[in-house]
Structure 1
Protein backbone atom coordinates (compact mmCIF):
# COMPACT_ATOMS: atom_id res chain seq x y z
CA UNK A 1 0.00 0.00 0.00
CA UNK A 2 1.35 3.43 -0.98
CA UNK A 3 2.36 5.58 1.97
CA UNK A 4 0.41 8.77 2.61
CA UNK A 5 2.23 12.00 3.39
CA UNK A 6 1.13 15.13 5.24
CA UNK A 7 3.43 17.53 3.38
CA UNK A 8 3.90 15.82 0.01
CA UNK A 9 2.04 14.11 -2.78
CA UNK A 10 3.35 11.65 -5.38
CA UNK A 11 1.61 11.44 -8.76
CA UNK A 12 2.59 9.41 -11.80
CA UNK A 13 2.27 11.28 -15.10
CA UNK A 14 0.29 8.41 -16.63
CA UNK A 15 0.08 4.64 -16.01
CA UNK A 16 2.68 3.96 -18.71
CA UNK A 17 4.98 6.86 -17.85
CA UNK A 18 8.27 6.59 -16.00
CA UNK A 19 7.91 10.19 -14.81
CA UNK A 20 6.66 10.74 -11.26
CA UNK A 21 5.75 14.14 -9.79
CA UNK A 22 6.85 14.78 -6.22
CA UNK A 23 4.75 17.71 -5.07
CA UNK A 24 5.34 19.97 -2.07
CA UNK A 25 1.77 19.99 -0.83
CA UNK A 26 1.07 22.75 1.71
CA UNK A 27 -0.33 25.40 -0.67
CA UNK A 28 -2.16 27.31 2.08
CA UNK A 29 1.24 28.37 3.51
CA UNK A 30 3.05 28.64 0.15
CA UNK A 31 4.54 25.16 0.74
CA UNK A 32 6.58 26.35 3.70
CA UNK A 33 8.64 23.51 5.14
CA UNK A 34 7.32 22.09 8.40
CA UNK A 35 9.32 19.74 10.62
CA UNK A 36 7.27 16.84 9.22
CA UNK A 37 8.65 17.62 5.77
CA UNK A 38 12.18 16.72 6.86
CA UNK A 39 11.01 13.25 7.89
CA UNK A 40 8.72 12.64 4.92
CA UNK A 41 10.87 14.01 2.09
CA UNK A 42 13.73 11.46 2.26
CA UNK A 43 11.17 8.66 2.69
CA UNK A 44 9.34 9.74 -0.45
CA UNK A 45 12.57 10.05 -2.44
CA UNK A 46 13.74 6.64 -1.28
CA UNK A 47 10.39 5.11 -2.27
CA UNK A 48 10.74 6.57 -5.76
CA UNK A 49 14.37 5.53 -5.96
CA UNK A 50 13.40 1.93 -5.18
CA UNK A 51 10.39 1.97 -7.52
CA UNK A 52 11.48 0.28 -10.79
CA UNK A 53 8.71 2.11 -12.66
CA UNK A 54 10.18 5.52 -11.76
CA UNK A 55 12.73 6.74 -14.29
CA UNK A 56 12.66 10.49 -13.55
CA UNK A 57 11.25 12.67 -10.78
CA UNK A 58 9.77 16.15 -11.26
CA UNK A 59 9.79 18.18 -8.03
CA UNK A 60 7.23 20.96 -7.93
CA UNK A 61 4.88 22.83 -5.61
CA UNK A 62 1.10 22.80 -5.27
CA UNK A 63 -0.76 26.10 -5.62
CA UNK A 64 0.77 29.44 -6.55
CA UNK A 65 4.30 28.95 -5.24
CA UNK A 66 7.13 26.44 -5.23
CA UNK A 67 8.31 26.97 -1.64
CA UNK A 68 8.39 29.93 0.76
CA UNK A 69 11.18 28.46 2.87
CA UNK A 70 11.04 26.97 6.33
CA UNK A 71 7.80 27.43 8.25
CA UNK A 72 8.49 30.15 10.83
CA UNK A 73 6.33 28.33 13.39
CA UNK A 74 8.53 25.27 12.98
CA UNK A 75 11.61 27.44 13.37
CA UNK A 76 10.26 28.83 16.64
CA UNK A 77 9.46 25.29 17.81
CA UNK A 78 13.03 24.21 17.16
CA UNK A 79 14.52 26.98 19.27
CA UNK A 80 11.91 26.62 22.03
CA UNK A 81 13.25 23.14 22.74
CA UNK A 82 16.78 24.30 23.57
CA UNK A 83 17.31 25.56 27.07
CA UNK A 84 19.37 24.60 30.09
CA UNK A 85 22.99 23.55 29.72
CA UNK A 86 24.45 25.40 26.75
CA UNK A 87 26.79 22.60 25.69
CA UNK A 88 24.06 19.95 25.64
CA UNK A 89 21.62 22.30 23.95
CA UNK A 90 24.19 23.05 21.28
CA UNK A 91 24.88 19.36 20.73
CA UNK A 92 21.14 18.62 20.29
CA UNK A 93 20.73 21.57 17.94
CA UNK A 94 23.65 20.39 15.83
CA UNK A 95 22.01 16.96 15.50
CA UNK A 96 18.75 18.64 14.47
CA UNK A 97 20.51 20.68 11.78
CA UNK A 98 22.33 17.60 10.50
CA UNK A 99 19.03 15.72 10.34
CA UNK A 100 17.47 18.50 8.26
CA UNK A 101 20.54 18.72 6.02
CA UNK A 102 20.33 14.99 5.40
CA UNK A 103 16.73 15.34 4.19
CA UNK A 104 17.85 17.74 1.45
CA UNK A 105 20.90 15.65 0.55
CA UNK A 106 18.48 12.76 -0.10
CA UNK A 107 17.94 14.39 -3.52
CA UNK A 108 21.57 13.69 -4.40
CA UNK A 109 21.47 10.18 -2.95
CA UNK A 110 18.50 9.31 -5.18
CA UNK A 111 19.75 7.43 -8.25
CA UNK A 112 16.93 8.79 -10.40
CA UNK A 113 17.30 12.31 -11.86
CA UNK A 114 15.37 14.94 -9.89
CA UNK A 115 14.16 17.91 -11.94
CA UNK A 116 12.93 21.08 -10.20
CA UNK A 117 9.98 22.88 -11.82
CA UNK A 118 9.79 26.24 -10.03
CA UNK A 119 6.96 28.76 -10.11
CA UNK A 120 6.12 31.67 -7.83
CA UNK A 121 8.26 31.98 -4.71
CA UNK A 122 11.44 29.98 -4.18
CA UNK A 123 12.82 31.37 -0.95
CA UNK A 124 15.30 30.23 1.71
CA UNK A 125 14.78 26.50 2.15
CA UNK A 126 13.31 26.39 -1.35
CA UNK A 127 16.72 27.35 -2.72
CA UNK A 128 18.36 24.71 -0.49
CA UNK A 129 16.11 22.18 -2.22
CA UNK A 130 16.54 23.29 -5.83
CA UNK A 131 20.33 23.59 -5.60
CA UNK A 132 20.42 19.90 -4.67
CA UNK A 133 18.32 19.00 -7.74
CA UNK A 134 19.96 17.77 -10.92
CA UNK A 135 18.25 20.18 -13.34
CA UNK A 136 16.15 23.31 -12.71
CA UNK A 137 13.52 25.15 -14.78
CA UNK A 138 11.22 28.02 -13.81
CA UNK A 139 8.43 30.30 -14.95
CA UNK A 140 8.91 33.92 -15.99
CA UNK A 141 7.12 35.11 -12.85
CA UNK A 142 9.18 32.95 -10.47
CA UNK A 143 11.23 34.83 -7.90
CA UNK A 144 14.06 33.74 -5.65
CA UNK A 145 15.73 34.90 -2.45
CA UNK A 146 18.47 33.48 -0.24
CA UNK A 147 16.52 34.85 2.70
CA UNK A 148 18.22 33.48 5.81
CA UNK A 149 20.19 36.59 6.84
CA UNK A 150 16.88 38.44 7.21
CA UNK A 151 15.95 35.88 9.88
CA UNK A 152 19.25 36.24 11.69
CA UNK A 153 20.47 32.86 10.40
CA UNK A 154 23.40 31.64 8.34
CA UNK A 155 21.87 29.40 5.68
CA UNK A 156 22.70 25.86 6.80
CA UNK A 157 20.83 23.35 4.63
CA UNK A 158 23.07 23.40 1.56
CA UNK A 159 22.66 26.67 -0.37
CA UNK A 160 26.04 28.07 0.69
CA UNK A 161 27.73 24.80 -0.24
CA UNK A 162 25.95 24.03 -3.54
CA UNK A 163 25.02 27.39 -5.07
CA UNK A 164 28.63 28.56 -5.65
CA UNK A 165 29.21 25.51 -7.86
CA UNK A 166 26.19 26.49 -9.94
CA UNK A 167 26.45 30.29 -10.25
CA UNK A 168 29.92 31.09 -8.86
CA UNK A 169 31.20 32.30 -5.49
CA UNK A 170 30.87 36.02 -6.19
CA UNK A 171 27.24 35.81 -7.30
CA UNK A 172 26.38 33.57 -4.36
CA UNK A 173 28.04 35.94 -1.89
CA UNK A 174 26.09 38.92 -3.24
CA UNK A 175 22.74 37.13 -3.16
CA UNK A 176 23.31 35.57 0.25
CA UNK A 177 24.43 38.67 2.16
CA UNK A 178 21.89 41.03 0.57
CA UNK A 179 19.01 38.48 0.57
CA UNK A 180 17.61 40.44 -2.37
CA UNK A 181 14.86 39.05 -4.55
CA UNK A 182 15.84 38.05 -8.08
CA UNK A 183 13.67 37.06 -11.01
CA UNK A 184 13.33 33.92 -13.07
CA UNK A 185 15.09 35.66 -15.95
CA UNK A 186 18.03 36.63 -13.74
CA UNK A 187 18.13 33.05 -12.44
CA UNK A 188 18.54 31.96 -16.07
CA UNK A 189 21.28 34.53 -16.69
CA UNK A 190 23.12 33.39 -13.57
CA UNK A 191 22.84 29.73 -14.61
CA UNK A 192 20.63 28.68 -11.71
CA UNK A 193 17.92 27.49 -14.12
CA UNK A 194 18.32 26.06 -17.60
CA UNK A 195 15.18 27.52 -19.17
CA UNK A 196 12.39 29.98 -18.36
CA UNK A 197 8.80 29.21 -19.39
CA UNK A 198 6.05 31.76 -19.89
CA UNK A 199 3.53 30.20 -17.50
CA UNK A 200 3.02 27.42 -14.96
CA UNK A 201 1.12 25.42 -17.60
CA UNK A 202 3.95 25.75 -20.14
CA UNK A 203 6.46 24.87 -17.42
CA UNK A 204 4.54 21.70 -16.55
CA UNK A 205 4.26 20.63 -20.18
CA UNK A 206 7.86 21.51 -21.05
CA UNK A 207 9.36 19.78 -18.01
CA UNK A 208 7.12 16.75 -18.56
CA UNK A 209 8.48 16.39 -22.10
CA UNK A 210 12.06 16.80 -20.89
CA UNK A 211 11.53 14.26 -18.11
CA UNK A 212 9.91 11.78 -20.50
CA UNK A 213 12.91 12.14 -22.78
CA UNK A 214 15.33 11.46 -19.92
CA UNK A 215 13.15 8.55 -18.78
CA UNK A 216 13.52 6.94 -22.20
CA UNK A 217 17.31 6.77 -21.94
CA UNK A 218 19.44 4.03 -20.41
CA UNK A 219 18.76 4.15 -16.65
CA UNK A 220 22.27 2.86 -15.95
CA UNK A 221 23.80 5.63 -18.06
CA UNK A 222 21.61 8.36 -16.50
CA UNK A 223 22.18 7.26 -12.90
CA UNK A 224 25.88 6.80 -13.63
CA UNK A 225 26.19 10.28 -15.11
CA UNK A 226 24.51 11.77 -12.03
CA UNK A 227 26.69 9.80 -9.62
CA UNK A 228 29.95 10.60 -11.41
CA UNK A 229 29.21 14.33 -11.74
CA UNK A 230 28.31 14.63 -8.05
CA UNK A 231 31.38 12.67 -6.95
CA UNK A 232 33.66 14.66 -9.26
CA UNK A 233 32.89 17.89 -7.36
CA UNK A 234 35.20 16.64 -4.63
CA UNK A 235 37.96 15.19 -6.84
CA UNK A 236 40.86 16.46 -8.90
CA UNK A 237 40.73 15.89 -12.66
CA UNK A 238 42.98 12.85 -12.37
CA UNK A 239 40.94 11.42 -9.50
CA UNK A 240 37.70 12.06 -11.37
CA UNK A 241 38.95 10.27 -14.47
CA UNK A 242 40.04 7.34 -12.33
CA UNK A 243 36.64 7.26 -10.62
CA UNK A 244 34.69 7.14 -13.89
CA UNK A 245 37.04 4.47 -15.25
CA UNK A 246 36.29 2.32 -12.21
CA UNK A 247 32.57 3.07 -12.52
CA UNK A 248 32.40 2.11 -16.19
CA UNK A 249 34.51 -1.00 -15.68
CA UNK A 250 31.58 -2.38 -13.71
CA UNK A 251 28.66 -0.78 -15.59
CA UNK A 252 29.72 -0.41 -19.24
CA UNK A 253 29.28 -4.04 -20.32
CA UNK A 254 25.51 -3.96 -19.90
CA UNK A 255 22.53 -4.86 -22.03
CA UNK A 256 21.77 -1.12 -22.15
CA UNK A 257 24.80 -0.41 -24.32
CA UNK A 258 23.97 -3.29 -26.67
CA UNK A 259 20.37 -2.10 -26.91
CA UNK A 260 21.39 1.54 -27.51
CA UNK A 261 23.88 0.71 -30.27
CA UNK A 262 21.45 -1.69 -31.98
CA UNK A 263 18.69 0.94 -31.88
CA UNK A 264 21.04 3.56 -33.37
CA UNK A 265 21.97 1.25 -36.24
CA UNK A 266 18.36 0.21 -36.89
CA UNK A 267 17.06 3.76 -36.39
CA UNK A 268 14.47 2.67 -33.83
CA UNK A 269 13.67 3.59 -30.25
CA UNK A 270 15.63 1.54 -27.71
CA UNK A 271 13.82 -0.26 -24.89
CA UNK A 272 15.78 -0.60 -21.66
CA UNK A 273 15.20 -2.78 -18.64
CA UNK A 274 14.01 -0.95 -15.52
CA UNK A 275 16.42 0.00 -12.76
Structure 2
Protein backbone atom coordinates (compact mmCIF):
# COMPACT_ATOMS: atom_id res chain seq x y z
CA UNK A 1 0.00 0.00 0.00
CA UNK A 2 1.25 3.49 -0.88
CA UNK A 3 1.93 5.65 2.14
CA UNK A 4 1.38 9.39 2.02
CA UNK A 5 5.07 9.92 2.86
CA UNK A 6 5.97 8.14 -0.40
CA UNK A 7 4.14 10.64 -2.62
CA UNK A 8 6.22 13.13 -4.57
CA UNK A 9 4.87 16.50 -3.48
CA UNK A 10 5.83 20.04 -4.46
CA UNK A 11 2.86 22.14 -3.28
CA UNK A 12 2.33 20.26 -0.01
CA UNK A 13 4.28 18.78 2.87
CA UNK A 14 3.04 15.97 5.11
CA UNK A 15 4.29 14.53 8.35
CA UNK A 16 2.99 12.01 10.85
CA UNK A 17 3.05 11.95 14.63
CA UNK A 18 1.47 8.83 16.04
CA UNK A 19 -2.00 8.51 14.54
CA UNK A 20 -2.20 12.16 13.44
CA UNK A 21 -1.10 13.28 9.96
CA UNK A 22 -0.50 16.97 9.26
CA UNK A 23 -0.94 18.27 5.71
CA UNK A 24 0.67 21.65 5.10
CA UNK A 25 0.06 23.97 2.17
CA UNK A 26 3.68 24.62 1.26
CA UNK A 27 3.93 27.52 -1.19
CA UNK A 28 4.46 30.33 1.35
CA UNK A 29 6.21 32.70 -1.07
CA UNK A 30 2.98 33.01 -3.09
CA UNK A 31 0.54 32.87 -0.17
CA UNK A 32 -0.04 29.13 -0.67
CA UNK A 33 -1.81 29.89 -3.94
CA UNK A 34 -3.36 26.78 -5.44
CA UNK A 35 -1.55 25.88 -8.66
CA UNK A 36 -2.09 22.85 -10.91
CA UNK A 37 0.27 20.74 -8.78
CA UNK A 38 -1.73 21.58 -5.66
CA UNK A 39 -5.03 20.31 -7.07
CA UNK A 40 -3.49 17.01 -8.14
CA UNK A 41 -1.40 16.49 -5.01
CA UNK A 42 -4.10 17.41 -2.49
CA UNK A 43 -6.46 14.92 -4.11
CA UNK A 44 -3.80 12.19 -4.09
CA UNK A 45 -2.90 12.85 -0.46
CA UNK A 46 -6.45 12.40 0.78
CA UNK A 47 -7.18 9.45 -1.46
CA UNK A 48 -4.07 7.83 0.02
CA UNK A 49 -4.94 8.75 3.62
CA UNK A 50 -8.43 7.31 3.16
CA UNK A 51 -6.78 3.89 2.92
CA UNK A 52 -4.24 4.51 5.67
CA UNK A 53 -5.33 2.48 8.68
CA UNK A 54 -2.73 4.08 10.95
CA UNK A 55 -4.09 7.58 10.37
CA UNK A 56 -6.98 8.50 12.65
CA UNK A 57 -7.13 12.30 12.38
CA UNK A 58 -5.77 14.89 9.96
CA UNK A 59 -4.64 18.47 10.49
CA UNK A 60 -4.52 20.96 7.61
CA UNK A 61 -2.59 24.21 7.89
CA UNK A 62 -0.67 26.67 5.75
CA UNK A 63 2.95 27.73 5.85
CA UNK A 64 4.05 31.35 5.89
CA UNK A 65 2.04 34.53 6.18
CA UNK A 66 -1.36 33.25 4.94
CA UNK A 67 -3.40 30.08 5.16
CA UNK A 68 -4.13 30.41 1.44
CA UNK A 69 -4.98 33.19 -1.01
CA UNK A 70 -6.84 30.69 -3.20
CA UNK A 71 -6.46 29.96 -6.90
CA UNK A 72 -3.11 30.76 -8.47
CA UNK A 73 -4.33 33.17 -11.15
CA UNK A 74 -0.82 33.54 -12.55
CA UNK A 75 -0.88 29.97 -13.79
CA UNK A 76 -2.96 29.67 -17.02
CA UNK A 77 -3.41 25.92 -16.63
CA UNK A 78 -5.80 26.41 -13.70
CA UNK A 79 -7.90 29.00 -15.52
CA UNK A 80 -8.77 27.13 -18.68
CA UNK A 81 -5.47 27.50 -20.50
CA UNK A 82 -3.46 30.22 -22.17
CA UNK A 83 -5.85 32.96 -23.49
CA UNK A 84 -3.72 33.37 -26.62
CA UNK A 85 -4.47 29.77 -27.47
CA UNK A 86 -8.01 29.35 -26.18
CA UNK A 87 -9.34 32.46 -27.95
CA UNK A 88 -8.86 30.59 -31.24
CA UNK A 89 -11.01 27.70 -30.03
CA UNK A 90 -14.74 27.62 -30.69
CA UNK A 91 -16.83 28.76 -27.66
CA UNK A 92 -18.58 25.41 -27.25
CA UNK A 93 -15.22 23.65 -27.18
CA UNK A 94 -13.84 26.14 -24.64
CA UNK A 95 -16.89 25.49 -22.47
CA UNK A 96 -16.41 21.74 -22.66
CA UNK A 97 -12.70 21.91 -21.89
CA UNK A 98 -13.15 24.30 -18.96
CA UNK A 99 -15.85 22.11 -17.43
CA UNK A 100 -13.63 19.07 -17.85
CA UNK A 101 -10.84 20.85 -15.97
CA UNK A 102 -13.06 22.13 -13.14
CA UNK A 103 -14.59 18.81 -12.22
CA UNK A 104 -11.32 17.16 -11.07
CA UNK A 105 -10.71 20.28 -8.97
CA UNK A 106 -14.09 19.71 -7.33
CA UNK A 107 -13.12 16.11 -6.66
CA UNK A 108 -9.99 17.33 -4.84
CA UNK A 109 -11.96 18.61 -1.86
CA UNK A 110 -14.64 15.94 -2.15
CA UNK A 111 -11.86 13.38 -1.63
CA UNK A 112 -11.09 15.07 1.67
CA UNK A 113 -14.77 15.14 2.63
CA UNK A 114 -15.10 11.42 1.88
CA UNK A 115 -11.94 10.55 3.80
CA UNK A 116 -13.05 8.47 6.83
CA UNK A 117 -10.73 10.35 9.17
CA UNK A 118 -11.91 13.71 10.55
CA UNK A 119 -10.08 16.71 9.06
CA UNK A 120 -9.30 19.72 11.25
CA UNK A 121 -8.27 22.97 9.53
CA UNK A 122 -6.15 25.51 11.44
CA UNK A 123 -6.55 28.87 9.73
CA UNK A 124 -4.25 31.80 10.33
CA UNK A 125 -4.63 35.12 8.52
CA UNK A 126 -6.16 35.03 5.03
CA UNK A 127 -8.40 32.28 3.68
CA UNK A 128 -9.57 33.46 0.28
CA UNK A 129 -11.42 31.97 -2.70
CA UNK A 130 -10.39 28.35 -3.14
CA UNK A 131 -9.42 28.24 0.53
CA UNK A 132 -13.10 28.62 1.42
CA UNK A 133 -13.93 25.70 -0.87
CA UNK A 134 -11.34 23.68 1.04
CA UNK A 135 -12.60 24.75 4.47
CA UNK A 136 -16.25 23.98 3.81
CA UNK A 137 -15.26 20.36 3.06
CA UNK A 138 -13.38 19.98 6.37
CA UNK A 139 -14.96 18.55 9.49
CA UNK A 140 -13.73 21.13 11.99
CA UNK A 141 -12.37 24.66 11.50
CA UNK A 142 -10.26 26.58 14.02
CA UNK A 143 -8.61 29.97 13.54
CA UNK A 144 -6.57 32.70 15.20
CA UNK A 145 -7.72 36.25 15.91
CA UNK A 146 -6.14 37.57 12.71
CA UNK A 147 -7.97 35.17 10.42
CA UNK A 148 -10.44 36.38 7.84
CA UNK A 149 -12.47 34.60 5.18
CA UNK A 150 -13.50 35.81 1.74
CA UNK A 151 -15.49 34.22 -1.09
CA UNK A 152 -13.39 35.99 -3.67
CA UNK A 153 -14.89 34.58 -6.85
CA UNK A 154 -17.71 37.12 -7.18
CA UNK A 155 -15.08 39.88 -7.06
CA UNK A 156 -13.43 38.50 -10.20
CA UNK A 157 -16.61 37.90 -12.14
CA UNK A 158 -17.40 34.21 -11.58
CA UNK A 159 -19.40 32.02 -9.23
CA UNK A 160 -17.48 29.86 -6.76
CA UNK A 161 -17.42 26.44 -8.40
CA UNK A 162 -15.34 24.07 -6.23
CA UNK A 163 -17.75 23.51 -3.33
CA UNK A 164 -18.40 26.73 -1.41
CA UNK A 165 -21.89 27.31 -2.82
CA UNK A 166 -22.84 23.69 -2.18
CA UNK A 167 -21.47 23.39 1.37
CA UNK A 168 -21.33 26.81 3.06
CA UNK A 169 -25.01 27.06 3.95
CA UNK A 170 -24.76 23.65 5.63
CA UNK A 171 -21.56 24.68 7.39
CA UNK A 172 -22.79 27.87 9.04
CA UNK A 173 -26.48 27.05 9.23
CA UNK A 174 -27.43 30.59 8.18
CA UNK A 175 -28.59 30.71 4.59
CA UNK A 176 -28.98 34.48 4.66
CA UNK A 177 -25.39 35.08 5.77
CA UNK A 178 -24.06 32.47 3.37
CA UNK A 179 -25.72 34.27 0.47
CA UNK A 180 -24.57 37.67 1.69
CA UNK A 181 -20.95 36.52 1.78
CA UNK A 182 -21.22 34.84 -1.62
CA UNK A 183 -22.95 37.82 -3.30
CA UNK A 184 -20.71 40.54 -1.88
CA UNK A 185 -17.28 38.93 -1.60
CA UNK A 186 -16.72 40.84 1.65
CA UNK A 187 -14.39 39.66 4.38
CA UNK A 188 -15.71 37.78 7.38
CA UNK A 189 -13.46 38.21 10.41
CA UNK A 190 -12.60 35.60 13.01
CA UNK A 191 -15.20 36.66 15.58
CA UNK A 192 -18.00 36.87 13.02
CA UNK A 193 -16.98 33.43 11.74
CA UNK A 194 -17.20 32.13 15.31
CA UNK A 195 -20.63 33.68 15.90
CA UNK A 196 -21.85 32.20 12.61
CA UNK A 197 -20.57 28.75 13.55
CA UNK A 198 -18.10 28.59 10.67
CA UNK A 199 -15.26 28.02 13.14
CA UNK A 200 -15.65 26.32 16.49
CA UNK A 201 -12.89 28.22 18.30
CA UNK A 202 -10.78 31.36 17.89
CA UNK A 203 -7.33 31.48 19.49
CA UNK A 204 -5.21 34.54 20.32
CA UNK A 205 -2.21 33.57 18.19
CA UNK A 206 -0.99 31.03 15.67
CA UNK A 207 1.10 29.08 18.16
CA UNK A 208 -1.90 28.48 20.40
CA UNK A 209 -4.02 27.65 17.35
CA UNK A 210 -1.67 24.88 16.24
CA UNK A 211 -1.21 23.58 19.79
CA UNK A 212 -4.96 23.31 20.35
CA UNK A 213 -5.57 21.91 16.88
CA UNK A 214 -3.05 19.15 17.50
CA UNK A 215 -4.53 18.40 20.93
CA UNK A 216 -7.97 18.08 19.38
CA UNK A 217 -6.64 15.77 16.66
CA UNK A 218 -4.93 13.60 19.27
CA UNK A 219 -8.13 13.41 21.32
CA UNK A 220 -10.09 12.24 18.27
CA UNK A 221 -7.30 9.77 17.43
CA UNK A 222 -7.63 8.24 20.91
CA UNK A 223 -11.21 7.12 20.19
CA UNK A 224 -12.31 3.98 18.38
CA UNK A 225 -11.41 4.55 14.70
CA UNK A 226 -14.42 2.59 13.50
CA UNK A 227 -16.73 4.65 15.73
CA UNK A 228 -15.25 7.93 14.48
CA UNK A 229 -15.37 6.84 10.84
CA UNK A 230 -18.96 5.71 11.27
CA UNK A 231 -19.90 9.00 12.89
CA UNK A 232 -18.38 11.00 10.02
CA UNK A 233 -19.98 8.80 7.39
CA UNK A 234 -23.43 9.12 8.94
CA UNK A 235 -23.12 12.87 9.49
CA UNK A 236 -22.23 13.34 5.82
CA UNK A 237 -25.04 11.03 4.70
CA UNK A 238 -27.63 12.78 6.88
CA UNK A 239 -26.83 16.16 5.35
CA UNK A 240 -28.14 15.00 1.98
CA UNK A 241 -30.93 12.61 3.03
CA UNK A 242 -34.12 12.50 5.05
CA UNK A 243 -34.18 11.76 8.77
CA UNK A 244 -35.92 8.44 8.05
CA UNK A 245 -33.31 7.30 5.55
CA UNK A 246 -30.51 8.46 7.83
CA UNK A 247 -31.89 6.61 10.85
CA UNK A 248 -32.15 3.42 8.83
CA UNK A 249 -28.57 3.81 7.63
CA UNK A 250 -27.07 4.37 11.09
CA UNK A 251 -29.04 1.42 12.47
CA UNK A 252 -27.54 -0.79 9.79
CA UNK A 253 -24.07 0.61 10.42
CA UNK A 254 -24.20 0.05 14.16
CA UNK A 255 -25.74 -3.39 13.79
CA UNK A 256 -22.44 -4.36 12.20
CA UNK A 257 -20.09 -2.15 14.21
CA UNK A 258 -21.44 -3.21 17.60
CA UNK A 259 -20.26 -6.78 16.96
CA UNK A 260 -16.65 -5.76 17.62
CA UNK A 261 -14.97 -6.23 21.00
CA UNK A 262 -13.89 -2.60 20.83
CA UNK A 263 -17.36 -1.53 21.93
CA UNK A 264 -16.92 -3.38 25.21
CA UNK A 265 -13.38 -2.01 25.57
CA UNK A 266 -14.55 1.57 25.06
CA UNK A 267 -17.54 1.20 27.37
CA UNK A 268 -15.39 -0.33 30.10
CA UNK A 269 -12.81 2.43 29.80
CA UNK A 270 -15.55 5.07 29.99
CA UNK A 271 -16.79 3.59 33.26
CA UNK A 272 -13.27 3.37 34.71
CA UNK A 273 -12.03 6.90 34.01
CA UNK A 274 -8.78 6.38 35.89
CA UNK A 275 -7.99 3.05 34.24
CA UNK A 276 -5.74 2.37 31.24
CA UNK A 277 -6.83 3.76 27.88
CA UNK A 278 -8.09 1.15 25.44
CA UNK A 279 -5.91 0.30 22.45
CA UNK A 280 -7.95 0.12 19.30
CA UNK A 281 -7.05 -1.67 16.08
CA UNK A 282 -6.26 0.43 13.02
CA UNK A 283 -8.89 0.83 10.35
Shorter-normalised TM-score: what interval? over 0.9
Written as runs of structure 1 = structure 2, the 5 A alignment for 1:22-101 is 22-74=23-75, 77-80=79-82, 82-83=86-87, 84-101=89-106
Contact 1:82 1:93 in 2 (8 A): no
Q: Deviations over 1:215-242 (max 9, x none)?
A: 0000001011101000111111111111
The equivalent of 2:178 in structure 1 is 172
Secondary structure of 2:251's aligned partner? helix
Gaps of 5+ in 1: none
Task: Report the TM-score, using the length of structure 1 for normalisation.
Answer: 0.95
Contact 2:47 2:112 in 1 (8 A): no
Secondary structure of 2:279's aligned partner? coil
Q: Does 1:221 align with 2:227?
A: yes
The equivalent of 2:16 in structure 1 is 12
Secondary structure of 1:122's aligned partner? strand
The equivalent of 1:149 in structure 2 is 154
Q: Distance in 1 between matches of 2:206 and 2:271?
A: 39
Shift of 1:204: 0.6
The equivalent of 1:119 in structure 2 is 124
Written as runs of structure 1 = structure 2, the 5 A alignment for 1:191-202 is 191-202=197-208
Secondary structure of 1:98's aligned partner? helix
Q: Does 1:273 align with 2:281?
A: yes
Secondary structure of 1:155's aligned partner? coil
Give aligned pairs, total: 272
Q: Find runs of 4+ consecutive structure 1 residues off by over 3 angstroms.
A: none
Contact 2:80 2:97 in 1 (8 A): no
Gaps of 5+ in 2: none
